[in-house]
Amino acid sequence: MSDTALLIIDVQTGFFDETPPIYEGDAMLQRMQSLAEAARKVNAPVLYMRHNEGPEAEWPIHPAIAPRDNEPVIEKLTCDSFHDTPLQQMLDSRGIKRLVITGFQTEYCIQTSARRANELGYAVTVVQDGHSTFDSAEQTAADIIRTYNDQLSVFAHIIPADSIVLGSDEVEG
């Protein structure tokens, strides 16, 4: 079994219902589908995080990347995928040492979870073109993504989806 896991964070239908929808959402879904299939082929675990703040926010995972029956969906209440969740225990029980992170929202849950994973000792790869957000008043979504890719590169590998090779021993790019 692989010591690498694919962590798909908060890819929930609500992000696609916004006006405008999340930046490059359909392209993100295609990349995530490819990554999930690649992970499954090498028996690398695929884990899903779902942000849940109450009944109005119980968005389902987008059906285009719906988890399989054996793939856990972990509920969280903060931007940190590890805070008050069983994620670390699940990873450690599977012997996971490396995380490939993809999902939403770049400046919130992606950057927070990537930093926390690094602090906990995991080797982190953030999919360069596999996380997204919305335009802000100050920056376009594309600029936000570029900024965070640069910041996260201090401790994480930043690799485009089509260059990630999920194998039994390491993530290459």
Tens-place pLDDT, residues 102-141 = 999 999 999 999 999 999 999 999 999 999 999 999 999 9
Question: What domain range includes position 164?
Answer: 4-172
Q: Where are the alpha helices (DSSP H) in 60-123?
A: 87-93, 111-119
- Give the Cα separation of 119 and 156 in Å (integer): 11
- Give the Cα separation of 102 and 114 in Å (integer): 10
Domain count of the fold of the chain: 1
Model confidence at 168, pLDDT cuts 50, 70, 90, reads very low
Q: What is the pLDDT of residues 26-53, one digit of tens each?
A: 999 999 999 999 999 999 999 999 998 7
Predicted pLDDT at 54: 66
- Give the Cα separation of 107 and 91 in Å (integer): 24
Residue 70 contacts by C-beta under 8 Å, 6 or more apart in sequence?
none
Return the CATH number at 76.
3.40.50.850
Predicted pLDDT at 126: 99
φ/ψ bin of 24: left (φ > 0), alpha (ψ from -120 to 50), beta (otherwise): left
